[in-house]
Structure 1
C-alpha cells in the first residue's frame, strides 16, 4: 500500500495485535485516471490542477470505503481540511468505526481561512457521528488556541510509530570505540535562503573548532541539491531513494534539525521518528510535539530555542553517546511499536 507519509507504514501491522477487530486501511495515494492527470497538468494554474487532483483523491477514498464489507474499522492515513466536503459524509455513512489520522491539519488551519473552515466542518461531523474519531500524534491539542481544538470524546492520542525494520547500529550495552569519529548530520531538503542554511554554517563552525573528532554529513536528494553544498567541508549523500535515506540515518550519530514554527509548532516530524528508529541522537527545534517525540518515553535527544544553544547541546550529545550508546533508543522504540499503538487505539480489547 502506498502512503503519503512512509514513516507511518508500521501502522499497517496493527491487525496482527487485534485479532478481534478487522481493520481496513485507506490512503489518498491512489493512481489518477490518465485523462484527469493530463487535464489538470495542462491547466495554466498549477495550484488549481493540484486541488482538483486532491479533491478527486478524497472522493475516491470515500467511495472505496463503501467497498469494505468484511471489516469493522477503517483507518484513514491522511486528509486535507479543504477537501472534506464529500469524503466525510461517505466515511460516516459506512457505519464502521473510523479513525482519521491528522498530520498538522490543526496547525495549518491557524494560518489558512479555508483550512480553518474545513476544520470546523470536521469538528461538526465528529460531534454528530460518534463512529468518527481523529488520531492525534504525541500530545493533546491543548497547546493550540481553543477554537482549533477538537472534541475531547473524539480524540485518540498515539505516538508516532517507529520504522520496525530500521534499527540502531549499536545493540543494548554496546558502545562506540573511544577513537571513533562522531558523525553529525543534516538530512532533508536544503535551501541556502532558508534557516537550514544558517544551521549548516553553525555545524561547520562546530566541527572546525570542536575538541572532539567530528564529521559533518549532509543527506539530500541530489536532483534538488543547491550548488553551494559542493563547496563546503562535508560528506554528501544522495537520499532520493528510501533505502539510501535510511542508510544515511544509520550512519549519523547526531542529527540536527530545524523547523519553522508556523509549520511545526503542533505537528510531528517524520524525519525525527525515522532518525530515532535508526538510533540517531536528535537535536531539534523546541516545539511541544517535537519535544515529546525526543523525550517520551525516554530521552533520545534535546531541543533548542535558538541556534546559539546548538554547540553546547552537541557537546552533551557526544557525552551521552559515549556513556550510554543507543540504549535509550531501544527503550524508546518499545512504546512506539505497532503492538503498543494497537493498545491505545483499542483499549477495550486489552482490558
Structure 2
C-alpha cells in the first residue's frame, strides 16, 4: 500500500517546486488474467511489462521539454524499451528504485542493465541511502549523480490506535501479501512454537488465507483476517502491538518494507531482519522496531519488543515528522533544484 506514498511525494514536489516537473507512471495492461498455467502467466506478465515500459517511454517523449521527469518505478529488464520509445531521452529523467538494487546484486545480467542505465544518464531515486550502489560496483562519481530519500510514512488518522490497553494480552501480527520471499508459512511455525512459552495472540492477516486454513485454530490464541481490502489491512495492522517480518535475505536485503512503513503509520512496533534498509527504516530518526540477526534470535527479539510495548516507551511522533510526505517532498525539491543549479 505504501507505494502510493512515493507517488504522493512526487505529486507534491511537482505542485510546489519552482521547477517544471512531469510525473510518469506506466499503465500495465491485464492480459488474460484468468490463465493459471505458470509459464503462460510469465509470458503474459513479460508482455504486460513490455507494454508498460513502452507507455512510459511515450510519455517521456511527450514531456521531454520539462525541466525534470520523474518515473514512478521501473524494471531492470524492461527499462530499455522506455529508453527506445522515449527516443533516447534521459536528460534529467529520474527513476524510482524498489526491488531493482536487490535484483542487480543477485543477477549479473540485471546488474549489467542497471549500470547501462547509469551510463545512459538516467538518474536513480533510491530508498534510504544511495551508498548501496557501492555494493553493486558503482564508483563514487557515479553515485553522486543519484538521489536518496527516506522511505515515507503516513500516520493513520482514521484509526483509533491510542486505545490499546497496556495491560491487555499483546497481539503479534504476521501481516502482508502472501508472496515468494516473505517466508510466511515458515515464520508461522516459528511463532506457534514461541507462543507455547510466551503469552500473546497471533494475528495472521493476508490476501490469501488458503495456506492457513488447515491450522488447528484456537480462537483465543490465533486470529485469521483477510486483508485484501485496504481498510481491513490497516485495521488489522492497528490491532497489533507488534508485527513480525522474516523476509528472505536473497529477496529483501537491499529493499525497504512497505508493510513496515504502513505498520509504523498505525503506531505498531516492527520486528525485522537486520538488513540495511529495513534497519534504517525502524531506527531513524527514532526507534520504532527491533532488528534481529537470524531466526534463532526471534524469540529474544519478541521478548524485548513486548517489554518496550508494555512500558509504552516508543515515541512515533518524531518518526512521522521526519518521514512525512511534506518533509520528504521538500528534501526532494531541494535535491532537484541543486542538481539543476536553480536558485529560488
- Does TM-score exceed 0.5, indicating one fold? yes
Q: Residues 124 and 147 of structure 2 are in contact (CA less than 8 Å); yes or no, is this contact kept in structure 1?
A: yes
Alignment correspondent of 2:106: 111
Give the one of 9, 12, 27 matched to 1:11.
9
Q: Residues 136 and 158 of structure 1 are in contact (CA less than 8 Å); yes or no, is this contact kept in structure 2?
A: yes
Instruction: State how far apart, in whole Å, the 2-side matches of 1:337 and 1:88 are.
Output: 32
Cα offsets for 1:112-144 (capped at 9, x unmatched): 243223212212112xxxxx4211101233475
Instruction: State how far apart, in whole Å, the 2-side matches of 1:83 and 1:192 are.
Output: 21
Give the one of 125, 149, 152 matched to 2:143.
152
Q: Residues 10 and 162 of structure 1 are in contact (CA less than 8 Å); yes or no, is this contact kept in structure 2?
A: no
Instruction: State how far apart, in whole Å, the 2-side matches of 1:133 and 1:192 are.
Output: 29
Instruction: State how far apart, in whole Å, the 2-side matches of 1:192 and 1:161 are.
Output: 24
What secondary structure does 2:184 align onto? helix
Cα offsets for 1:186-232 (capped at 9, x unmatched): 0124589984333222322333322xx52111101146444334646
Q: Which runs of 5+ in 1 are unaligned?
A: 127-131
What secondary structure does 2:137 align onto? helix
Q: CA deviation at 1:344?
A: 2.3
Q: Does 1:331 align with 2:326?
A: no
Seen in structure 2, the aligned counterparts of structure 1 residues 136 and 191 have a Cα distance that, compared at 3 Å, is closer
Using structure 2 for the length normalisation, give the TM-score.
0.84
Q: Residues 110 and 148 of structure 1 are in contact (CA less than 8 Å); yes or no, is this contact kept in structure 2?
A: no
Seen in structure 2, the aligned counterparts of structure 1 residues 165 and 253 have a Cα distance that, compared at 3 Å, is closer
Cα offsets for 1:42-86 (capped at 9, x unmatched): 997432322122111101111022333885322211111111223
Seen in structure 2, the aligned counterparts of structure 1 residues 320 and 29 have a Cα distance that, compared at 3 Å, is farther
Q: Which runs of 5+ in 2 are unaligned?
A: none
Alignment correspondent of 1:129: none
Give the one of 324, 327, 330 matched to 1:340.
327
Instruction: State how far apart, in whole Å, the 1-side matches of 2:76 and 2:34 are.
Output: 21
Using structure 1 for the length normalisation, give the TM-score.
0.82
